[in-house]
Amino acid sequence: MRAKGPAIAAGATGAAAGAAVFLGQYPTMQVYGTTIFRERGAGKRVALTYDDGPNPEQTPRLLDLLERHGAKATFFLIGQWAEREPGLIRETVARGHALGNHTYTHVTMPAHRADTIREELRRCRGAVEASGETFSTVDGAALMRPPYGRRRPGTLRTMREEGYVPVTWSITCYDWRAHTTTRAISRRGKRAREGDIILLHDGSNEEPAADRHKSIEGTQAILEHLGPMGYSFVTVPELVASARA
């Protein structure tokens, strides 16, 4: 009987830890601080967002697809890949898309001290600015997506002090999973409605030229499904502006 106390305490500790992980990673949770994740009042507009590029193999194909459909998107770039592809960054901006910071090496931000987070953000910014481009902004703050969506109060505070606004998402397509299918990706994306932000990937934190053909095929299916329904595809700053209009 004496073991009940420690067991209960351990269970409570585990539950609290699990809750903390959930609150700090689930994209629409706002307990630890506000993020841009959906914009009610945006009308029939959604935002396609792509993490982990620029990807020399996949991003150009994606840019062509988006252009054929008159769609704009937001790309959250990894700094170490951005250093390799300045021309591709310039092309992305020239085609009307938005850019955001996704750290230099795709770190789990809550696992690091503030000085490490600042260095990751600054190195990624430097890599993008070396191309001649800058991150897109909302209310003067640059777009930033925490890797894996993971954040804590201190993480968000550091981001804001560095001049960023955090962006998560409301629709997850799970396109990073090795065994996912184009059909599964597109099925999730087709659920998007007014003001949703869709998470997809044109790259990988592990390989600069990772194969993301299923993400591109899924994007095509989403465009072909939502477009005829009257939806337009806009950047995150455009989505926010339209919701405020």
45: alpha, beta or left? (left if phi > 0; alpha if psi -120 to 50): beta
Task: Please give the pLDDT value at position 10.
Answer: 41
DSSP state of 35: -
Strand, coil or helix: 110: helix
Task: Please give the pLDDT value at position 132.
Answer: 98
For tokens 């959250």, what's the residue? 76
The one catalytic residue in 97, 102, 106, 201 is 201
- In the residue annotation, 51 being an active-site residue is answered as yes
The one catalytic residue in 51, 52, 175, 202 is 51
Rounded to two decimals, the pTM is 0.91
Taking the C-alpha atoms of residue 188 and residue 209, their distance in angstroms, rounded to an integer, is 25
Task: Please give the pLDDT value at position 57.
Answer: 97
- Among candidate residues 202, 83, 74, 81, the one with its CA nearest the CA of residue 131: 83
- Among candidate residues 200, 214, 240, the one with its CA nearest the CA of residue 75: 200
pLDDT in tens, the chain (245 residues): 455 555 444 443 333 334 445 456 778 888 888 999 999 999 999 999 999 999 999 999 999 999 999 999 999 999 999 999 999 999 999 999 999 999 999 999 999 999 999 999 999 999 999 999 999 999 999 999 999 999 999 999 999 999 999 999 999 999 999 999 999 999 999 999 999 999 999 999 999 999 999 999 999 999 999 999 999 999 999 999 999 99
Per DSSP bridges, beta strands 141-144 and 137-138 are antiparallel
Task: Please give the pLDDT value at position 15.
Answer: 39
Q: Which residues of 218-230 are buried (b: 16+ CB within 10 A; e: fewer)?
A: bbbbbbebbeeee
Contact 121, 103 (CB under 8 A): yes
